[in-house]
């Protein structure tokens, strides 16, 4: 089994931000939420979970959310990097801080059955549990796959290098450049 971060690793960009921009284009009335989003963001004190939740408050007023997600991936699945498409297998696991509702549909279309992501409520943007970031990725992987060691883990972020504890190899991905990181 090989593990991959999603955003900026196998997906060229950040799918959560891209989905927001896509939503604004297709449901422009969500721009009315910007003042509320800004006010809420001011009071988060750089807590990643709260920032993500408050940013996602626009989900409350979107209608036909699932249709929007399908249309988003119809347009944006092409942003999956070619190097990944060439090496992907159905036994891969995606471990991402992006919301499950986005990662789940992408994985379904890519034929990947294993994924771990931030459990965000599609109705209101609330996050159940912790944001799937950094050490939380390792904890969630260990709880779901306690006896599995990954052949490799690929990420664009050093915060994901905590997965070295359950990986034989770690790779840093910068655009389409892949660099093996020596484990200590």
Cβ pair 69, 101 in contact under 8 A: yes
CATH class of the region 2-181: alpha beta
- How many CB atoms are located within 10 Å of the residue 134 CB? 18
Q: With CA atoms as reference, report the closest residue to 92 among 113, 109, 69, 70.
A: 113
Q: Which residues contact 44 (CB under 8 A, 6 or more apart)?
A: 50, 51, 54
pLDDT tens-digit readout, 100-137 = 999 999 999 999 999 999 999 999 999 999 999 999 99
pLDDT at res. 163: 95
Separate counts of helices (H) and strands (E) for the chain: 7, 6
Average pLDDT estimate for 148-153? 96
pLDDT at res. 184: 57
pLDDT tens-digit readout, 37-69 = 888 777 766 778 888 888 898 999 999 999 999
Average pLDDT estimate for 87-100? 96
Average pLDDT estimate for 8-28? 97
């Amino acid at each position: 089994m090989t593990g991959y971060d999603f955003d900026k690793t196998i997906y060229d960009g950040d799918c959560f931000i891209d989905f927001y921009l896509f939503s604004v284009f297709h449901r422009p009335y969500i721009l009315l939420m910007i003042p509320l989003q800004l006010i809420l963001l001011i009071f988060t004190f750089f807590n990643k979970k709260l920032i993500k939740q408050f940013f996602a408050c626009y989900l409350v007023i979107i209608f036909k959310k699932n249709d929007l997600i399908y249309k988003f991936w119809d347009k944006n699945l092409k942003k999956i990097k070619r190097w990944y498409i060439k090496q992907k297998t159905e036994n891969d696991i995606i471990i991402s801080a992006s919301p499950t509702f986005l990662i789940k549909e992408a994985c379904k279309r890519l034929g990947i059955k294993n994924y771990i992501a931030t459990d965000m409520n599609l109705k209101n943007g609330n996050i159940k549990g912790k944001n799937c970031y950094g050490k939380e990725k390792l904890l969630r992987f260990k709880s779901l796959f306690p006896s599995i060691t990954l052949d490799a883990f690929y990420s664009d972020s050093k915060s994901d290098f905590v997965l070295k504890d359950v990986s034989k190899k770690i790779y840093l991905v910068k655009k389409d450049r892949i660099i093996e990181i020596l484990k200590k």
